[in-house]
A and B are shown apart, each in its own frame.
Chain A
Amino acid sequence: QKEVEQNSGPLSVPEGAIASLNCTYSDRGSQSFFWYRQYSGKSPELIMSIYSNGDKEDGRFTAQLNKASQYVSLLIRDSQPSDSATYLCAVRGGGSYIPTFGRGTSLIVHP
């Protein structure tokens, strides 16, 4: 069974710092990797997706993928209090096309 692991946190960073969120996965055949942000009481929303090894940047967000190490990360530069949320890593492909989610990492950005 496909597993996706994340540190539940909370990860606390000061405003303006870089927040680093990590995720590992068990299925070597996984092909697509997603980061969803979920504010308290709200539904998850996609913020980044990555499909090939390396870095992908979108504004303040950078996703990093290393398939050999089965590791995907999300960097948030210049963190803002509005970034405080739970970040969910999701993995797709390999044995199943149904996205499998990690338990999420709670991020707190304090002023």
Chain B
Amino acid sequence: DTAVSQTPKYLVTQMGNDKSIKCEQNLGHDTMYWYKQDSKKFLKIMFSYNNKELIINETVPNRFSPKSPDKAHLNLHINSLELGDSAVYFCASSQDIGTVNEKLFFGSGTQLSVL
């Protein structure tokens, strides 16, 4: 069983479209994250979600919105896609955001290409 799974693995779309990426974890973790990795491998936090508390990186455009139906799922919705949104998006989870020594478990990533 995959601990953190995200779909789709590849997403190719046109500028201006709206798309979603799904993420599910079966580890029983309380905290989930979305990271964006650019072409230079820089992993940048976008959101974290813990017990219904959303922490947003203020640099993330409001075209991006996380949706969490329950603590095992954190989906990412993107409206009005732009060329600069092309990147690999990683979902991750950890047991508890309040425990500093908790490691992250990553999903396999979603390669988003905006044409």
Contact = CB atoms under 8 A, between A and B. Distances in A.
Main secondary structure of the interface of B (DSSP, over half): loop
Contacts of A93: 100
B52 to A, nearest CB: 16
A32 interface: yes
Interface of A: 8, 31-32, 34, 36, 38, 42-46, 49, 51, 86, 88, 90, 92-93, 97-101, 103-104, 106
26 contacts: A8-B41, A31-B100, A34-B104, A42-B108, A42-B109, A43-B90, A43-B107, A43-B108, A43-B109, A44-B43, A44-B90, A44-B104, A46-B104, A49-B103, A51-B100, A51-B101, A86-B41, A88-B43, A90-B104, A97-B98, A97-B100, A98-B55, A101-B44, A103-B42, A104-B41, A104-B42
Contacts of B33: 98
Interface string B31-42: 001010000111
A100 B45 contact: yes
Contacts of A97: 97-100
Nearest to B108: A43
A97 B98 CA distance: 6
Contacts of A104: 41-43
B48 interface: yes
A83 B112 CA distance: 27
